[in-house]
Amino acid sequence: MTSYLIRRVLAGLLTLLVASFLLFLLVAISGNPLANLLANPHISPATIAAARKELGLNQPLLLRYWTWLIHMLQGNFGISTTGQPVGSELGSRLLVTLQLVLPTVILSALIAILIGVVTAVRQYSVLDHAMTAVAYLFYSTPVFVVAIMLKDFLAVDVNNAVGHTILYTIGQNNPGTTGAWSIFVDAVQHTVLPVVALVLITYAGWSRYQRATMLDVLNADYIRLARAKGLSRRRVLYVHALRNALIPVVTVMALDFATILGGTVVTETVFGWTGMGNFLLEYGLEGPVTPDVNVVMAWMMVVATAVIVFNIIADLLYAVLDPRIRLA
Amino acid sequence: MPEPESFEDASAPGAQAEVIPIVAGRLVVPLVEGPVTASRGQLRMAAERFFHHRMALTGLAVFVLLLLWSTIGPVFWKYSYATITNQFGTGPSAQHPFGTDTIGHDMFAQVMQGTQTSLETALLVAAISTVIGTLIGAVAGYYGGFWDQALMRFTDVVLIIPLLAILAVLSNRFSKQADSSLFVGLLLAILFWTYLARLIRGAFLSLREREFIEAEHAIGASTWRIVLRHMIPNAAGVIVVNATLTVALAILTEAALSYLGLGVQPPQVDLGTLIASGEGDAYALPWLFYFPAVFLIVAVLSVNFIGDGLRDALDPTQREH
Amino acid sequence: MTRVRPIRRIGVIVFTVACAIGVAACGSSGSSSSPSASATAGTVKSGGTLTYALDEDVAGFNVNQADDNEFVLQEILDNVWPSVFVSTPSLKPTLNTNYVTSATVTKTSPQTIVYQINPKATWSDGTPISASDFIYNWQAQSGNPKYKDKGGAAFLPAGTAGYSQIKSVTGSNGGKTVTVVFSSPFGDWQSLFTDLMPAHIAEKVGFNNGFQNFGSAEKVSGGPYEMQSYTAGQDLVEVPNPTWWGAKPKLSKIVFRFILDDNSIPPAMANGEVNMANPALASLSFKDAVDALPNTTTDVTAGLEFQHIDFNEANPYLAKLDVRDAIAAGTNREQMIQRIVAPLTTSIQPLENRIWMPIQPQYTNTSGSYGDFDVAKAKSLLQAAGMTMGSDGYFHPNFGPEKGQDFTLSISTTSGVPVRSQIEQLFQADMKAIGVKITIQNYNANTLFGTVGPKGEFDLIEFAWVQTPYASGNESIYCSYTNASLCGDNWDHYSDPKVDSLFDQALSTINPTTAASLYNQVDAQLWKDMVTLPLFEQPQLVSWSSTYGNVVPNPSNFGVTWNAYAWGLKE
């Protein structure tokens, strides 16, 4: 087990390294970071030369990559062209995105498992058909459409009905709120709508998968055997079937954590959150120097690392939960 | 990526979880989980099963209709999507069935054109990524060993590159392209093939151990013959179903990109850009938002139904009960 | 559309003087008391917070510096950094006696102005506002290489109009009297010494880079409010300045909330998350959405912003006057107005002057027949320029790189802005009708204004200028491109010595009536040369919750916050 883990981690690191080089190449060819400075008549050639030196652009590509790599390994993500250190900025933005992603995953998982199991057990019932239809609908809808409808219609209607604002549509909190409880409530009020949007899209696919796996398990020989042995239906269901049906689904969810991380970009944009998505779009690509290499590379590395980490977690979960699979 | 070292392990119930592609915010539920045999007689049976699947048939009909309407319609319709008409900001009427936008475009023409761009780009993405994915997966699965490791590591690298980030970074270059939808399509294709490659590789890894393949080896058949005439047809189910899934995913991803302003650029339209420009009008001129949104959902839904039906038809062991 | 973010640059354009120089009372024209007197309409309570949605985040905090010269920053600094003269909503420059009790022209040759600083005027850290502030602000924006920023670097001001013509600034009377002597006369002198930065702070941290990030330098205030905190991408909070010596402001907090997506603002207003909005480019959708909100006042006025199309005369076809005239004649500006801005406010007409806007008294239609929409004339002009109509409906030039092919031009603007995209599409349809093929090629704002525009990498470019009520700053846009340091805003490869000399005359004319007529002569020549095609004024939309009183929209670059000290919750 441990050796497998070590191997996977090493493989992951190697992948990260190669990916980082490709990404660096990509960012380098996508535009001249000095373009805006060059075009400004007020800026003297001396300033441009200084900027070029500071950004290291007069060095060959490989050397620049090497410098960036060394710095990154030391934990120095560099300074963005607005003068802010990228590392600390990234940290706070990651937390903001997590404020969105964690509740999404947990809620989606719970709802998906519940619906998946129930519809599998009550296969072909009216409930099953209804849930299937709903799942298909959400599964086929883009997240930004759902987000827009929630923002433009549900929020206003609910707030009007209640009489004051309980659902917020802008940002992840009201800065300047004081008091731990108020801060918590305020954060929840801001998080409800985007999370609902993401959950509706995410649970749909997972619930179908859970349903399918549950059905497989319920029809499996060893379940029939358990029933034949006279075990109560409930015991059969929960102890044996569910446990086995959860295995692949949990792995799927662990893998998707990383997907959702990347995918919150759209939701953050619709609701104006200052998280990872906004960080890339605003600072990396619309700042005074485009593209801001440090910002873009740091962002890519964080997301790539998250993907690899969660893939490894999924591997482990898979191995741990299913005793039949022994990773050689 | 979790995968059992050998597919034999995976035949137990509730077993393997498959690889999920990391793309912009969409979960793709792996609806097919293993190699499928589909020889000629079974192909016929599969077709029969497909045509008995009501949802799939409906989906197919709707999708074909959408495709025809969006590609042939513009030839016959009185307005082109770029025409500025005499009316602006008007609701659905006899002259303008979907109304007009604030500067005078006929929305029926715009939604038609938008659907065409979205569908064509998605089909392009699915086609190219299927070819690339099948090739890479086949080589990895068939040869195994070094090739397998190298290609799968390469697949890993591509998989962790965030799609949205790449497109965002390259979007400055996009704006110089007159036909940005083609560019977007190619880029999506380059990043979508990874999922299929892994599946095919798994299928081939398992297939090559089968007796009939060994028999082919024994009689001295060439690699190409084995791959083309035996292995790919056997994996056909996997390929076809996942190609369909890719279409659905591509439509959604491409719309999301256009919505963010990173995909298709004006004056080209696709359903994403139409939804984006209609968003602000959802209060006062709702037809500008709802028509493109509904068409987008219907398109994706129909493709998902088709995918469902195909999966049922081609892989009875994984029937969606 | 998501990510609507046209950067509104304040043109470094100088105020017109509405009164004659040489009249001692001129400096204290009309409302000589502090501008708040004219603003207060009703009574308002003390206390309360107002959240104002800004659709752009700030790039830095020095509005006088080249990179930070943005409208939203100006609005933020209105109540923090002192301005000697403020533009009221009627565009009258009004002396702010909280800072300067009198500003008189004591001599016309050489032009000499004497400012008496209000003895109570102090920065919030205790340093009195004095002549050293005037001296520093002048030197930093003079463009004179003799004066250096911290570290020996050259200053990088947004513009030098007027300051470059000052010979000396001296303080006397303990620093409370400032005497400014000009080396050559500058008519728009009231535009000077706006957004005064604290010299003692700026010298320490540096003009170019010292105000990049929010810190203690930004917290020093000379106005009724001070900046309390700034969270990048989220908000900036202003609270009353406890050391303010004038009338106490009413609101206990003004929150500038950065909301980059215009579509998010109406629901936020409906929810009370935001109380005021002023989108950069108001669209009909936005207006419809805020009109539907209860308890909301919406004001739409044409101001000093206008949309226009530039012709790059480096393009061999656009170098021909006939071609430019043809394009102008083929553009149906009325239709653009009808579909883009008329639903917002009905008073907009095609814009016939680049230097003066219709709300200014100096506005005159200088276009002659050049601004008329005439498709037949356009086609005949193209023929005269050496093109023949092809069978596919497009002209084919008989010369140049596109000889024998469809005559094609590209038009560029900022991507992601619906109003601009709409202008382009209407323009494209108009051009198709006269036989010119237009391709649309947009870029993000930084690239467009940073690279594409200045480097001339375009055929046609469309964007908006936000003027200040002064006219002299227009020079840098239209004077000969060969003069790179003065005419840095001329991206069109345009040159006309007649225009250059007229500008020279106008800038040094002190009599405002004469100056105005000179500027109009400039514009008439610009029409004859068809250097750019002005399209229409862009109306400003300000929307706010009706629970707040004393909100008065202001079309100048001071924006609606010009009198924020008077805002409050209604009784």
Per-domain residue ranges of chain A: 2-73, 97-274
Interface mutation target, options A90, A169, A279, chain C, most CBs of C under 10 Å: A169
ipTM exceeding 0.95? no
What pLDDT score was predicted for residue C6? 31
What pLDDT score was predicted for residue C3? 21
How far from each other are the two terminal CA atoms of chain B, in whole angstroms?
Answer: 28
For residue B231, being part of any structural domain is answered with: yes
What pLDDT score was predicted for residue C411? 92
Q: For residues C46 and A213, what is the distance between their CA atoms, to the nearest angstrom?
A: 64
Residues of B in contact with A318 (CB under 8 A): 2, 17
For residue B319, being part of any structural domain is answered with: no
For residue B233 the two structure tokens come to: 């047809």
List strand residue ranges (DSSP E) for C96-215, in order: 100-108, 111-117, 166-172, 177-182
Does residue B46 surpass a pLDDT of 80?
A: no
Q: Is C141 exposed, middle or buried (0-12, 13-18, 19+ CB in 10 A)?
A: buried
Q: For residues A164 and B314, what is the distance between their CA atoms, to the nearest angstrom?
A: 55
Q: For residues C126 and C115, what is the distance between their CA atoms, to the nearest angstrom?
A: 21
- Minimal-distance CA residue of chain B relative to A259: B22
Indicate yes or no: CB of A142 within 8 angstroms of CB of B255: yes
Q: For residues C232 and A175, what is the distance between their CA atoms, to the nearest angstrom?
A: 11
Residues of A in contact with B289 (CB under 8 A): 148
Q: For residues C83 and C194, what is the distance between their CA atoms, to the nearest angstrom?
A: 4
Across A157-166, B34-43, C304-313, least confident range: B34-43
For residue A106 the two structure tokens come to: 């947990």
Q: How does strand C177-182 pair with strand C85-87? A: unpaired
C3 at B interface, C-beta within 8 A: yes
For residue C439 the two structure tokens come to: 């391709």
Interface list for B 286-315 with A (CB within 8 A): 289, 293, 296-297, 300-301, 304-305
**Higher pLDDT, residue C405 or B166:** C405
pLDDT > 70 fraction of chain C, expressed in percent and rounded: 92
Residues of B in contact with A325 (CB under 8 A): 4, 9, 15
How many angstroms away from the CA of B13 is the closest CA of chain A? 6
What pLDDT score was predicted for residue C34? 37
How many angstroms away from the CA of C318 is the closest CA of chain B? 21
Q: For residues A137 and C556, what is the distance between their CA atoms, to the nearest angstrom?
A: 50
Within 10 Å of residue C40's Cβ, how many Cβ atoms?
A: 16
Number of B–C residue contacts, CB under 8 Å:
89
Out of B296, B304, B320, the one facing A142 most closely (by C-beta) is: B296
Residues with Cβ within 8 Å of C556's Cβ and at least 6 positions away in sequence, in order, are: C87, C89, C91, C303, C304, C468, C469, C562
Give the model's confidence band at C49: pLDDT under 50 very low, under 70 low, under 90 confident, else very high: very high
Residue B306 structural domain: 22-77+108-314
Beta carbons of C414 and C463 less than 8 angstroms apart = yes
Mean pLDDT on B208-225:
71
Give the model's confidence band at B22: pLDDT under 50 very low, under 70 low, under 90 confident, else very high: very low
Query: Which of these, B288, B272, B60, lies nearest to B184 by C-alpha position?
Result: B272
What pLDDT score was predicted for residue B287? 93
Q: Per-residue pLDDT tens for C505-528? A: 888 888 889 999 999 999 999 999
Mean pLDDT on C195-219:
91
What pLDDT score was predicted for residue B148? 82
Does residue B180 surpass a pLDDT of 80?
A: no
What pLDDT score was predicted for residue A269? 86
Residues with Cβ within 8 Å of B142's Cβ and at least 6 positions away in sequence, in order, are: B204, B208, B223, B226, B227, B231
**Higher pLDDT, residue C307 or B266:** C307
**Amino acid letter for position A225:** L
For residue A68 the two structure tokens come to: 């960036």
What pLDDT score was predicted for residue C566? 93
Low-confidence ranges of chain A (pLDDT < 50): 41, 327-328
**Higher pLDDT, residue A143 or C23:** A143
Mean pLDDT on B215-244:
76
Neighbours of chain C (3+ CB pairs under 8 A): A, B
Indicate yes or no: CB of B280 within 8 angstroms of CB of C440: no
Q: For residues C470 and A178, what is the distance between their CA atoms, to the nearest angstrom?
A: 45
Query: Which of these, C497, C547, C486, C551, lies nearest to C522 by C-alpha position?
Result: C497
Beta carbons of C74 and C10 less than 8 angstroms apart = yes
Give the model's confidence band at B34: pLDDT under 50 very low, under 70 low, under 90 confident, else very high: very low
What pLDDT score was predicted for residue C253? 94
Give the model's confidence band at B15: pLDDT under 50 very low, under 70 low, under 90 confident, else very high: very low
Indicate yes or no: CB of A286 within 8 angstroms of CB of C450: no
Domain of residue B113, CATH code: 1.10.3720.10
Indicate yes or no: CB of A272 within 8 angstroms of CB of C273: no
Q: Per-residue pLDDT tens for C150-195? A: 888 888 887 777 888 899 999 999 999 999 999 988 888 998 999 9
- Minimal-distance CA residue of chain C relative to B90: C339
C292 at A interface, C-beta within 8 A: no
Does residue B195 surpass a pLDDT of 70?
A: yes
Beta carbons of B4 and A208 less than 8 angstroms apart = no
What pLDDT score was predicted for residue C52? 96
Indicate yes or no: CB of A281 within 8 angstroms of CB of B153: no
Indicate yes or no: CB of C442 within 8 angstroms of CB of B267: no
What pLDDT score was predicted for residue C70? 77
Q: Per-residue pLDDT tens for C417-457? A: 888 889 999 999 999 999 999 988 887 776 777 678 877 88
Beta carbons of C202 and C135 less than 8 angstroms apart = no
Handedness of CA C461, C462, C467, C472 (dihedral sign): positive
B235 at A interface, C-beta within 8 A: no
For residue B305, being part of any structural domain is answered with: yes
B86 at C interface, C-beta within 8 A: no
What pLDDT score was predicted for residue C435? 93
For residue B284, being part of any structural domain is answered with: yes
What pLDDT score was predicted for residue A82? 62
Task: Compute the mean pLDDT over every residue in chain C, rounded to the nearest whole number.
Answer: 85
For residue B82, being part of any structural domain is answered with: no
Q: For residues C379 and A324, what is the distance between their CA atoms, to the nearest angstrom?
A: 81
Within 10 Å of residue C332's Cβ, how many Cβ atoms?
A: 18
Interface mutation target, options A34, A42, A152, A278, chain C, most CBs of C under 10 Å: A42
B175 at C interface, C-beta within 8 A: yes
Does residue B274 surpass a pLDDT of 90?
A: yes
Q: Which span out of A210-224, C5-19, C406-420 was modeled with the highest average pLDDT?
A: C406-420
How many angstroms away from the CA of B266 is the closest CA of chain C? 7
Mean pLDDT on C401-416:
88
Interface mutation target, options B79, B83, B175, chain C, most CBs of C under 10 Å: B175
What pLDDT score was predicted for residue C192? 92
Residues of B in contact with C459 (CB under 8 A): none
What pLDDT score was predicted for residue C11? 39
Residues of B in contact with A143 (CB under 8 A): 25, 256
C332 at B interface, C-beta within 8 A: no
Residues of A in contact with C231 (CB under 8 A): 175
Does residue C26 surpass a pLDDT of 80?
A: no
Indicate yes or no: CB of A35 within 8 angstroms of CB of C57: no
Does residue C13 surpass a pLDDT of 70?
A: no
Out of C261, C270, C485, the one facing A272 most closely (by C-beta) is: C261
Within 10 Å of residue A15's Cβ, how many Cβ atoms?
A: 22
What pLDDT score was predicted for residue C21? 30
Does residue B167 surpass a pLDDT of 80?
A: no
Interface mutation target, options A217, A325, A326, A327, chain B, most CBs of B under 10 Å: A325
Indicate yes or no: CB of A170 within 8 angstroms of CB of C488: no
Indicate yes or no: CB of A314 within 8 angstroms of CB of B2: yes
Q: For residues A92 and A273, what is the distance between their CA atoms, to the nearest angstrom?
A: 12
Could you tell me the CATH superfamily of domain A97-274? MetI-like (1.10.3720.10)
How many angstroms away from the CA of B151 is the closest CA of chain A? 12
Out of B22, B27, B170, the one facing A307 most closely (by C-beta) is: B22
The tally of domains found in chain B comes to: 1
For residue C301 the two structure tokens come to: 């006025």
Mean pLDDT on B175-182:
63
Beta carbons of B242 and B196 less than 8 angstroms apart = yes
What pLDDT score was predicted for residue A218? 76
Out of A40, A156, A169, the one facing C264 most closely (by C-beta) is: A169
For residue B192 the two structure tokens come to: 């979508």
> What's the angle, vertex CA A109, arms to CA A106 and CA A112, rounded to 5?
145
Mean pLDDT on B98-112:
93
Does residue C373 surpass a pLDDT of 80?
A: yes
Task: Compute the mean pLDDT over every residue in chain B, rounded to the nearest whole number.
Answer: 76
Q: Could you tell me how many residues make up chain C? A: 571
